[in-house]
Chain A
Amino acid sequence: GENVEQHPSTLSVQEGDSAVIKCTYSDSASNYFPWYKQELGKRPQLIIDIRSNVGEKKDQRIAVTLNKTAKHFSLHITETQPEDSAVYFCAASTGSSASKIIFGSGTRLSIRP
Chain B
Amino acid sequence: GAVVSQHPSRVICKSGTSVKIECRSLDFQATTMFWYRQFPKQSLMLMATSNEGSKATYEQGVEKDKFLINHASLTLSTLTVTSAHPEDSSFYICSARGVSNADTQYFGPGTRLTVL
Contacts and interface: CB of A to CB of B under 8 A. Distances in A.
Interface string A99-111: 0111111100000
Contacts of A34: 103-105
A25 to B, nearest CB: 14
B43 A97 contact: no
A69 interface: no
A44 B103 contact: no
Interface residues of A, number: 23
B110 A49 contact: no
A98 B51 contact: yes
Interface of B: 31-32, 34, 42-46, 49, 51, 91, 93, 95, 97, 99, 102-105, 107-110, 112
Given A42-B110, A43-B107, A43-B108, A100 B49 contact: yes
Contacts of B99: 97
